[in-house]
Amino acid sequence: MPGLIEAVASTLRRHALLAGGERVLIAVSGGADSVALLHVLRALAPSLRLDLHVLHVDHRLRADSARDAHFVLDLTARLGVRADVATVTVARGDSLEAQARAARYAALEACADRIGADRIAVGHTRDDQAETVLMRFLQGAGPRGLAGIPARRGRVIRPLLEVGRREIVGALEASGLGWLEDPSNLDPKFLRNRVRHEVLPFLGSYQGNIVDALNSTAMRMRALVSALDAGAEAELARLATRDDGEIVLPRPALSDLPRDLAANILRLAAVRLGGRAPLRAWAHRGLARALGEPPARRPFRLGGVSVEGSGTLIRIATRRRAPLDTREVVVPGPTPLPEIDARLDARVVSAAGYRLPRDPDRVAFDADRLPGPLVVRRRRGGDRVMAFGGGERRVKSLLIDAKVPRWKRDGVPIVEAGGEVIWIAGIRRAAAALVTAATQHVLELALVVTRADEVRRPLE
């Protein structure tokens, strides 16, 4: 297999898949591709100082699936490579292929964690790349989808990605090495099998090098996606404000950018928070609504994170902010507000010589004219504040006027006395218990933030 070994070594160097000295978990099904992958990496292991380990995943989708595991265990025993078998349960969903793939990769990741593997090597080939690109084209994919299968994603590497299936089978036959044929690879109920055995041969009758052409498309699209990602990374670093579990971006600045670039910035922000959803058509529609004018009122879910627009901001977050609980205000003393990393300080002082505060986070009332008890809570539907000069204003309207994003509104402290809202902390004081020349005792309330509400820092 000298030619195949050299081709794989070239791919490893070109894409920097292995630096040397890694522990590599190899996924071996028993088919030609994975068997060739095992033999090639075993041949390269001494020069690259690789520590090899094999995992066979039994999906139990065939009655005789155990024979594949026995084949792999026999093969690895002869080669002196450690091996495990993982048996998984494949959920029966809309796509059996997708469910099996998810179960397989979960098993590989779990095994890699257990043995401390630096890389997970899988056997995708140049033909798999062509099939993937064609399938995604038929599904209406954009540049990211047409970029196909990457040579590396996370710790998963694909050393055979630049080698054709015919070359692999030829190398195995020439070396007298055996493999198993999975009968499910001929089942026409799977889209990939129809593409492999029907569509690609048909297209090949018109375009003889169809596999090469589709791989060329993937290469060009991946270069385009890489450039788009680089631009999005730079804009994300420039625009983003990050707090614990959330990233906030200015919506006008995103709207001024090309739509694909803006959508990619939101996708990258979601990835930074652990989201993994691809930008399919439905995702683009949801992101368009978040960037629209006005933005959609409901959060949009994207791969385990939510995307929400409000006013001039867009928030990408892993969870909702905790709403403020209702609690009685301690007078005098501090009232902790742990949901918003703040506290409400209250003190009663003599009115003689007292100067009214100018800080919006500090407010004063005539202590003798306030009915009790004092309560701090989150907003409620129908809340109103008696404004100066008479008339009432809705708390909701005041929060909107103050440009408080929707996701922060349930964390704004509402202070009430005797059931009447007297202060929207940091935003508006009600015309209640005013401090006048007749005032003898002043109740001063102060909202003290114990941790900065927004922390701007580089997105590492």
**Together in a domain, 249 and 111:** no
Query: Does 263 score more than 90 pLDDT?
Result: no
Taking CA atoms, 312 is separated from 204, 295, 455, 458, in Å, by 52, 9, 18, 21
84 within domain boundaries: yes
pLDDT at 65: 83
Q: Which two tokens stand for residue 161?
A: 């990605």
**Together in a domain, 123 and 263:** no
CATH of residue 257's domain is 3.30.465
**Together in a domain, 312 and 347:** no
Structural contact between residues 313 and 249, judged by C-beta atoms closer than 8 angstroms: yes
pLDDT at 28: 96
Query: Does 203 score more than 80 pLDDT?
Result: yes
pLDDT at 460: 43
The helix/strand/coil state of 307 is strand
380 within domain boundaries: yes
Distance CA 34, CA 317 (A): 39
Q: Which two tokens stand for residue 49?
A: 């100082």
**Together in a domain, 300 and 331:** no
Percentage of residues in the chain having pLDDT higher than 70:
94
pLDDT digits (tens, 9 = 90+) for 1-22: 889 999 999 999 999 999 999 9
**Together in a domain, 87 and 165:** yes
Confidence class for position 172, pLDDT limits 50, 70, 90 = very high
**Together in a domain, 196 and 144:** yes
**Together in a domain, 43 and 179:** yes
459 within domain boundaries: no
pLDDT at 190: 83
Domain count of the fold of the chain: 3
Burial classification of residue 244, based on how many CB atoms lie within 10 Å of its CB (0-12 exposed, 13-18 middle, 19 or more buried): exposed
Indicate the pairing of strand 362-366 with strand 313-317.
unpaired
Domain of 295?
Answer: 240-317
pLDDT digits (tens, 9 = 90+) for 353-367: 999 999 999 999 999
pLDDT at 392: 87
Q: Which two tokens stand for residue 61?
A: 């989708």
445 within domain boundaries: yes
